[in-house]
Amino acid sequence: MESREMKIRECIEKFGVYYQRSGHQPMMGRLLAYLMVAEPPHKSFEEITESLLSSKSAVSNTLNMLIYMGIVDYVKMSGDRRRYFRLHPDAWDRLLQAPVNEIGQLKSLVGEVMQLRSGKDPEANRKIGQFYRLLEIFEKQFPVIVEQWKKEINKNNR
């Protein structure tokens, strides 16, 4: 039987692979997964580099990017000069907003393509139009789904 530590390492690596396949740096996924399973939920820079078996520069660059995105923040402990990194309290909202923004940008680009196409290939135009409509639906419905999720969370936290 696998140890808990081994399962955690495998989970962290799966997040890295997922993020890499999604076009991001694998370290971003690994770091997010590490902070999700971290107990306590905040870790020092040294703890992160040691646990992820990563270089200081890779961890530093990824932390800076996640802080810039508002997904990670840090706290300081009284009497301790180190910073302790953790998932921002609104990390999930911010993570979910990124694909909505990307869908909006893609919809805009597809709309531009639709305007540039001639009427010489109606079937291709129809399919591109259908894709554009899907992007419109997603852009409209995804925030509704997120709001529903927030209401469920608030209801369950009472």
Q: Which tens digits make up the pLDDT trace of 73-104?
A: 999 989 989 999 999 998 988 888 888 888 99
Token pair, residue 8, equals 């955690």
Over residues 142-155, the pLDDT tens digits come to 889 888 988 998 88
On the question of pLDDT at 2 being above 80, the answer is: no
- Residue type for 82, please? R
On the question of pLDDT at 14 being above 60, the answer is: yes
Instruction: Find the length of the chain.
Output: 158
Q: Are 42 and 5 in contact (CB under 8 A)?
A: no
Write down the pTM of the prediction.
0.77
Please give the order of strands across the beta sheet that includes 72-76: 43-44, 83-87, 72-76
Token pair, residue 49, equals 């580099």
Beta-carbon contacts of 58 under 8 Å, excluding residues fewer than 6 positions away, are: 27
Place of tokens 């979910």: 96
Place of tokens 């531009």: 112
